[in-house]
């Protein structure tokens, strides 16, 4: 309804890993294991809202949710929805706190501005390096795999009638950046 398709996941889908993550809009990278075509073999830039969706009065979420918009890149377009496919998500930077907007058009304008900012900062170092993080790329050709480095990642079910899997890993920023640059 906003013109920005998102993967919507509840905080509980992440086994508590997001409990300490402040609400707001983040930039990051995502991969979707098993998605058909080139999109299933690529890491995608993402703009992610972590919060309660306060703009829609009476429709606020009771629990914190993650709304990840995987931004379109022409050579990596999704051929179809990826419901039921495991998605890996790495939050790499913070854009702004979550807040309520006065109108629907104001919300849409803010999301577009966030998406533009995300594409800009994710195209530059140091955040571009995170697109090569082993956590994101390990499952793109071999399906879901968990190795010792990713043993602390969590997996859960998605919201709604379709079942999704979400993988999220909390990392030390400096160590992860160093690893992604290798």
What's the CA gap between 55 and 53, in Å, rounded? Answer: 6
Q: Is 124 a catalytic residue?
A: no
Taking CA atoms, 134 is separated from 29, 137, 142, 145, in Å, by 12, 5, 13, 11
Helices assigned H by DSSP within 26-130: 104-122
Query: Whole-angstrom Cα distance, residue 100 to residue 140?
Result: 36
> One of 33, 60, 63, 67 is an active-site residue; which one?
67
Query: What are 32's strand-pairing partners?
Result: 87
Characterize 40-56 residue by residue with b for buried, 16 or more Cβ atoms within 10 angstroms of its Cβ, and e for exposed.
Answer: bebbbbbbbbbbbbebe
Q: Which residues are catalytic, by number?
A: 67
């Amino acid at each position: 309804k906003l013109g920005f398709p998102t993967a919507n996941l509840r905080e509980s889908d992440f086994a508590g890993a997001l409990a300490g993550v402040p609400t707001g809009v983040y930039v990051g990278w995502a991969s979707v294991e098993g998605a058909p075509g080139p999109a299933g073999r690529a890491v995608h830039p993402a703009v992610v809202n972590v919060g309660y969706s306060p703009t829609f009065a009476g429709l606020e979420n009771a629990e914190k949710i993650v709304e990840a918009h995987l931004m379109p890149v022409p050579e990596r377009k999704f051929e179809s929805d990826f419901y039921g496919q495991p998605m890996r998500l790495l939050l790499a930077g913070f854009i702004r706190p979550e807040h309520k907007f006065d109108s629907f058009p104001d919300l849409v304008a803010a999301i577009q501005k966030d998406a533009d900012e995300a594409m800009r900062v994710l195209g530059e170092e140091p955040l571009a390096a995170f697109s090569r993080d082993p956590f994101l790329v390990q499952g793109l050709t071999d399906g879901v795999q968990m190795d010792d480095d990713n043993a602390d990642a969590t997996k859960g079910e998605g919201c709604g009638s379709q079942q999704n899997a979400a993988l999220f890993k909390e990392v030390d920023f400096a160590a992860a950046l160093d690893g992604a640059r290798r």
